[in-house]
Amino acid sequence: PLPVLAVVGRPNVGKSTLVNRIIGRREAVVEDRPGVTRDRVSYDAVWNGRQFTVVDTGGWDPDARGLAAQVAAQAEVAVSVADAVLFVVDAAVGITDADEAVVRVLRRSKKPVVLAANKVDDQRAEAEAHGLWNLGLGEPQVVSALHGRGSGDLLDAVLAAL
Ligand code: GDP
Ligand code: MG
What is the model's pTM?
0.94
Distance CA 87, CA 40 (A): 15
Please name the helix (run of DSSP H) or strand (run of DSSP E) that holds residue 46, with its range, or none: strand 40-47
Residue 143 is part of a domain; what is its CATH number? 3.40.50.300
Domain around 102? 4-161
What is the per-residue pLDDT across 20-60, written as a single tens digit (0 to 9) for each? Answer: 999 998 877 776 555 555 667 899 999 999 999 999 988 66
Q: What is the mean pLDDT of residues 101-128?
A: 94
Residue 71 carries which DSSP code? Answer: H
Q: Give CA–CA dist 17/28, Å, rounded.
A: 7
Is pLDDT of 16 > 90?
yes
At residue 160, the pLDDT reads 98
Mean pLDDT of 127-131: 90
Q: Name which residue sits closest to atom 20 of ligand 1, judged by CA.
A: 14
Above 80 in pLDDT, residue 9? yes
Domain count along the chain: 1
Res 90: pLDDT: 97
Kindly report the protein residue whose alpha carbon is nearest to atom 5 of ligand 1: 14
Residue 16: strand, helix, or coil: helix
Q: Is 148 left (phi over 0), alpha (psi -120 to 50) or beta?
A: left
The mean pLDDT value of the chain amounts to 90
pLDDT greater than 80 at residue 119: yes
**Which residues contribute to the annotated binding site for GTP?**
9-16, 56-60, 118-121
* Ligand 1 within 6 A of CB of 29: no
Three-class SS state of 114: strand
